[in-house]
Amino acid sequence: MEILLIKIRRYFNTLELTKGFLIALFSSAFIYLNHWGFSYPIINTILGIITLYWLLREGQKVWFISGTFIGLFWFWWIAMSLKHYGYLWAIPIEMLVISFIYGTLFLTFAWSAEKLSSKLAFPAVFMKAFLLFIVSYIHPFGFDWFKPELMFIESYLGIEKWQFALLLLASALTIWRKQLAYLLIILFAYQPPLTVQGSLSDEIKIVTTHTTVQDKWNETLHPKQFDNLFKEIDQAIREEKKLVILPESVFPLFLNRSEELIGKLNYKAKEISIVTGALYWDGRTPINSTYIFTDNKITVANKVILVTFGESNPLPDFLSNWVNRVFYDGAVDYIASDHVTDYKIDEHTYRNAICFEATSEQLYAGEPKNMIVLSNNGWFIPSIEPTLQKLLLQYYSKKYGTTIYHAVNMSESYVVKNGRVYP
């Protein structure tokens, strides 16, 4: 350990390490403050501006350190899923890999900015601002949860790309000209909190379940779990709801091959529309699906965007097969649908989304008015993952005007409208 510390000091001094750590801490504060229930717009606004201004002032080493800690602070929870496969030893290794990926990404941007600046005789700070702007368009392994503008989701500033560009421009001009007056440009990115137009529907019941990963796949516990789900449906009927929404894979089996469960759900659907998560078997591969029971018919909406290394493996086949065999007990990859699914319930159209894909830009093509999202967050509990997921849903709801109905296993369910969350 001592030798490692000596080598670190050879390349990074204490001041650089401190700067990088604090920049990453400020950039991540909005997540943890929200997680602990202390999120305030003024604090998020100030911390976000400080993060951008400070980062643009620094050189390659600080960018690398910042990126490394940002990767850790934002995404350490990804490794938590490994505990369900018995690979506790691999958790710190995966955290280090994630951190290194983001550290390398930030280092590459800083190095590129300084090289381009010297060749083009253009201030480096503007090149850094430009490259930081495009960071949110770069998604390692298809994972697009890092959006720098997300820092301002619960602030007095907007989250549109042009507003984020203004913040970067204001910071860059202030650093270049060494005049704080340029920070006034930030005022053009001001966006007051949105007010909700109209009221939320009281005809929809969103169910939260609390079934651990281990219990979910324990077939001996299924009768009790399913009985509780039908009790929730019956309660919704008694409350005269028109729609009940259950979380992702609450029926952890191939529902299309279970005539008994299909029959019971169809019978209940005579009194209330039901949206629930379950698996689907097409004769070749498993599919993560949403089942919609309404108007005397069953609609199956399949997942479009699969979780990298969770539901699909982006590696070449020979490596993918090895990873699945060693780490996932030989499980085969899921198959994704080639199109998003919109369906109607009581004259309202809903966009289908299952967990991870609800936080992807692709699902918001056409700016859907309503979206039903089913999630199972049991893989990452306890962690900040549900909080970051919620903030991303706020981001997309605010950006596209989509009302999101989110039913969750192992964390709170809620509705997001115009970027605001309603339990």
Active site residues: 248, 303, 355
Instruction: Look at residues 149, 157, 161, 162 and name the one whose alpha carbon lies nearest to residue 191.
Output: 157
**Number of other residues whose CB lies within 10 A of the CB of residue 32:** 15
CB 205 within 8 A of CB 241: yes
- Counting every residue written for the chain, the total comes to 423
**Alpha carbon distance 391, 420 (integer Å):** 10
Cα–Cα distance for residue pair 171/152, rounded to 1 Å: 15
- H-only helix segments in 217-278: 222-238, 259-268
DSSP 336-386: --SS--EEEETTEEEEEEEGGGGGSGGGGTT--SEEEEEEEGGGG-SSSHH
Q: Which value, in Å, is the radius of gyration of the alpha carbons in the chain?
A: 23
Q: Mutual orientation of helices 259-268 and 222-238 as an angle, nearest 10°?
A: 10
What are the two backbone dihedrals, phi and then psi, of residue 372, each rounded to the nearest 5 degrees? Answer: -110, 125
Query: Could you tell me the two tokens for 37?
Result: 């229930």
Chain Cα centroid distance, residue 144: 8
CA distance 397 to 271: 30
